[in-house]
Structure 1
Amino acid sequence: MPLSLLSLAVAAFGIGTTEFVIMGLLPEVARDLGVSIPAAGLLVTGYALGVVVGAPVLAVATARLPRKATLAGLMALFIFGNVLCALAPGYGLLMAARVVTAFCHAAFFGIGSVVAADLVPRSRRAQAIALMFAGLTLANVLGVPAGTALGQWLGWRSTFWAVAVIGLAALAALVVLLPARLARPAGGVIAEFRVLGETQVALAMVISVLCSASLFSVFTYIAPLLGEVTGLAPTAVTGALLVFGVGLTAGNMLGGRLADWRLMPSLLAVLVVLVGVLLVLVPASRAPAPALAMLLVWGILAFALVPLLQLRVVDTAARAPGLASTLNQGAFNLGNAIGAWVGALAITWGLSYQHLPLVGAALALAALGLAGLSFRLDRGAMARGGAADADLAR
């Protein structure tokens, strides 16, 4: 793998850390700004909505720009947003700063995925995308715990200063390591948006939404599940989340290899096993050992889907890969919000924390059904002799 991929991974690490670290600092933020913890929790929602809204806006704004300059500019916006977070005197400006920071999220991962795939031979594209996303998974394993500890020790603002420094390091790496001449987007923006109306592109994005919703319908409430059902102490819950984070990291790299091997068959197989694991998690969650084992496997499967789905979108939208890849990041975050809402709705209607994985399994099953339909459409195209479409069916 070329060294230039390291710059994308470092940037992904910073973006992932700033997205999720706020969850561990909610009490400190709420106390310092004089708001309730639920109000502070809306900073998470604001970021997710910033990603969803920012995806189409920045996709259009950067559609014709050189990719290296675009990535560097997005990282500069990321640094600016985190500095604003660190300096924010009140809740309103902090929320605005979070949204500004979120705007670069979808565009960076979307354009970065296309750049990563272009830096390597075709047979290793998914592994290159997975290497970039490894920064995001490592943010959950290392960045978030370290950022939380720093914020609790020196104040929550110190965490955002630290993330801004990571952003500076990533910006320097992008400028130095990325090739000066990257493939430049061709064609018009309107023509690219027409690609999004194609059946296979739309199916790929809906599958991304459902897979993300499946994960967050359960993961959003994983702390009470592990505490009240499994019986883990708060300190042990932190360890369990670390196990899950290790699974995410391993799954991301596994998904890259599977996607370069056989993309659609691998996607279908991972979804089938994911449904089974979520069903097994229901009884397994009542005891620590089986619960931890299922958490690890669940994490592996959940993030094995990320490079698979990202490459699927790039393949199906071959005439507009940057735009589609960026909007797919918005789709993942839309799934985050939908999953958390569906999980809350299920709990409100009386479903216990133990049975919450059934909701995740149902959403994964819906994704499996659409993936099966998409695969059948590919096979039909192959039967009709479409060479380009046949390549998608691999």
Structure 2
Amino acid sequence: MTKQLFSLALGGLAIGTTEFVIMGLLPDVAKDIEVSIPIAGHLISAYALGVVVGSPILVALSAKFAPRNVLIVFMILFTFFNALSALAPDYNTLLLSRFFSGLPHGAFFGVGTVVATRLAVEGKSAQAIASMFTGLTVANLAMVPLVTFIGHHLHWRFAFGIVAIIGIITIFALYKWLPELKPLRTITFKEELEFFKTLKAWHLLMIVSIGFGGLFAWFSYIAPLLIHVSGFDEASVSYMMIVAGAGMVVGNIFGGYLADKYNPLKALIFLLSMMVLSLVLVFFFSENKTIAILLTFICGALAMSISSPINMVMLKSAKNSEMLGAAFIQSAFNVSNSLGAFVGGIPLLFGLSFVYPSIVGAGLALLGVVLCLVFFKRYEKDLR
């Protein structure tokens, strides 16, 4: 990984840490600011809403400026509102700061995706994108467990303080290592939006929102699955999350390689199909601890392996709208997160076992495969 791509990866590390660390600290936050855990859960939703809202707006406002400066401004906003989260005196302030800290998330990755392809060696664009997302995978592997541990044993505010420090380091890295590039927009924002008036654009976003929802149907309920079905004790769940994080690191690298070597849409179809198979295996074999560990790694790998291929498909499809397209992909990921968690939880409302979210997830992923096949039949020529 070059220093230029490393600076983008640092941004991914900061973003990934703040997005997921709150989940492990909800009881601590709820107790300290004197709200119920369900009410504290709105802090997760507020961040996700910020991602969805911020992606198109910030990209629209910034595309005519030099991308290095844009990324630095995004990271300044991100750092400021994470610092505010660490200092928030009450629930409402924390809720607003979580929303505003989510605004630069999708926009950073949207601009960063296009920048990474510009910095890439010829024929290795997807691997350059994967390098940027390495920070996100390392966050899940190491930073989230570490920062959660610190936040739980010292104070939850330290978690957001650490994220702010990573943000400051990222700002300096972007300034020092990212080269000056010309503004990314070659057309007006109104012309850029024309792509998103087409069925092709929304077809792609549906693949992400529905197909990837299958993964989140499983991941949202992984802790009770491992405890009540696989028979792990609560203390072991943290280690199992590290196993999933290790899978994400490997999968991210593999997905970038696959998308460069083959047609990225074919790579996406293959990886989504493997997700269907893996989630079905989770349904049938989670009672076996050894197999449960292996499947946790595999599902984690598939979770991140899909990121580079889908971004490459968007970049190839959204001619002259690449940056906005990459930003919308991040919004769609957050939609898939909410959809997967909601649909995956329906069987639990009827008293069914914690293995059932995985079979619901397999159904969503299978629908994603079907959507990919239809997309391939209609637009395959455009991706050559």
| TM-score bracket, shorter-length normalisation | over 0.9
Query: C-alpha distance in 1, partners of 2:64/2:311?
Result: 21
Query: C-alpha distance in 2, partners of 1:276/1:353?
Result: 18
Offset of residue 53 of structure 1: 1.5
Offset of residue 212 of structure 1: 2.6
Where do residues 35-54 of structure 1 align in structure 2 (5 Å cutoff)? 35-54=35-54
Structure 1 residue aligned with 2:368: 367
Whichever residue aligns with residue 337 of structure 2, its letter is N
Query: C-alpha distance in 2, partners of 1:57/1:310?
Result: 19
Q: Report the 3-state secondary structure (helix = DSSP H, G, I; strand = E; otherwise coil) of the residue aligned with 2:187.
A: coil
- 1:315 is aligned to 2:316: yes
Whichever residue aligns with residue 27 of structure 1, its letter is P
Offset of residue 191 of structure 1: 0.6
Query: C-alpha distance in 1, partners of 2:302/2:59?
Result: 29
Structure 1 residue aligned with 2:88: 88
- 1:277 is aligned to 2:278: yes
Q: Which moved more, 1:346-355 or 1:222-231?
A: 346-355
Offset of residue 302 of structure 1: 1.9
Conserved 8 A contact 1:55-1:326: yes
Conserved 8 A contact 1:59-1:327: no
- 1:240 is aligned to 2:255: no
Q: Report the 3-state secondary structure (helix = DSSP H, G, I; strand = E; otherwise coil) of the residue aligned with 1:196.
A: helix
Offset of residue 211 of structure 1: 2.9
Where do residues 72-87 of structure 1 align in structure 2 (5 Å cutoff)? 72-87=72-87
Whichever residue aligns with residue 33 of structure 1, its letter is I
Q: Report the 3-state secondary structure (helix = DSSP H, G, I; strand = E; otherwise coil) of the residue aligned with 1:357.
A: helix
Query: C-alpha distance in 2, partners of 1:193/1:5?
Result: 28
Query: C-alpha distance in 2, partners of 1:271/1:343?
Result: 17
- 1:351 is aligned to 2:352: yes
Structure 2 residue aligned with 1:170: 170
Conserved 8 A contact 2:223-2:237: yes
Q: Report the 3-state secondary structure (helix = DSSP H, G, I; strand = E; otherwise coil) of the residue aligned with 1:356.
A: helix
Query: C-alpha distance in 2, partners of 1:280/1:24?
Result: 27
Q: Report the 3-state secondary structure (helix = DSSP H, G, I; strand = E; otherwise coil) of the residue aligned with 2:212.
A: helix
Structure 2 residue aligned with 1:209: 209
Query: C-alpha distance in 2, partners of 1:123/1:347?
Result: 46
Query: C-alpha distance in 2, partners of 1:160/1:355?
Result: 34
Offset of residue 198 of structure 1: 2.9
The Cα offsets for residues 18-49 of structure 1, whole Å up to 9 and x where unpaired, read as 11111111121111101111111111111111
Q: Which moved more, 1:352-361 or 1:225-234?
A: 352-361
Offset of residue 352 of structure 1: 2.0
Q: Which moved more, 1:37-46 or 1:74-83?
A: 37-46
Whichever residue aligns with residue 59 of structure 2, its letter is A
Q: Report the 3-state secondary structure (helix = DSSP H, G, I; strand = E; otherwise coil) of the residue aligned with 2:139.
A: helix
The Cα offsets for residues 91-149 of structure 1, whole Å up to 9 and x where unpaired, read as 00000000010001010011101100110134110000001001001101111111111
Query: C-alpha distance in 1, partners of 2:303/2:241?
Result: 14
Offset of residue 182 of structure 1: 3.8
Which sections of structure 1, spanning at least 5 residues, go unmatched? 383-388
Q: Report the 3-state secondary structure (helix = DSSP H, G, I; strand = E; otherwise coil) of the residue aligned with 2:123.
A: helix
Where do residues 285-300 of structure 1 align in structure 2 (5 Å cutoff)? 285-300=286-301
Q: Report the 3-state secondary structure (helix = DSSP H, G, I; strand = E; otherwise coil) of the residue aligned with 2:41.
A: helix
Conserved 8 A contact 1:12-1:132: yes
Where do residues 15-34 of structure 1 align in structure 2 (5 Å cutoff)? 15-34=15-34
Question: For residues 196 and 122 of structure 1, do their structure 2 counterparts lie closer, same or farther at Cα, with a shift above 3 Å needed?
Answer: farther
Query: C-alpha distance in 2, partners of 1:345/1:63?
Result: 41
Offset of residue 183 of structure 1: 4.9
Whichever residue aligns with residue 354 of structure 1, its letter is V
Offset of residue 202 of structure 1: 2.2
Whichever residue aligns with residue 286 of structure 1, its letter is E
Offset of residue 195 of structure 1: 1.0
Q: Percent identity?
A: 39
The Cα offsets for residues 58-81 of structure 1, whole Å up to 9 and x where unpaired, read as 122223222111100000001111
Query: C-alpha distance in 1, partners of 2:181/2:302?
Result: 36
Q: Report the 3-state secondary structure (helix = DSSP H, G, I; strand = E; otherwise coil) of the residue aligned with 1:353.
A: coil
Structure 1 residue aligned with 2:61: 61
The Cα offsets for residues 254-310 of structure 1, whole Å up to 9 and x where unpaired, read as 000001111122111112221111111112101110111111111111211111111
Whichever residue aligns with residue 194 of structure 1, its letter is E
Structure 2 residue aligned with 1:192: 192
Offset of residue 17 of structure 1: 0.3
Conserved 8 A contact 1:88-1:94: yes
Q: Which moved more, 1:78-87 or 1:196-205?
A: 196-205
Structure 1 residue aligned with 2:100: 100
Conserved 8 A contact 1:68-1:182: no
Conserved 8 A contact 1:9-1:131: yes
Structure-2-length-normalised TM-score: 0.97
Query: C-alpha distance in 2, partners of 1:214/1:186?
Result: 36
Structure 1 residue aligned with 2:128: 128
Query: C-alpha distance in 1, partners of 2:341/2:68?
Result: 35
Q: Which moved more, 1:297-306 or 1:126-135?
A: 297-306
The Cα offsets for residues 155-195 of structure 1, whole Å up to 9 and x where unpaired, read as 11111111111100000000010111245311110110011
Whichever residue aligns with residue 14 of structure 1, its letter is A
Offset of residue 324 of structure 1: 0.8
Query: C-alpha distance in 2, partners of 1:133/1:8?
Result: 8
Structure 2 residue aligned with 1:386: none
Query: C-alpha distance in 2, partners of 1:121/1:349?
Result: 52
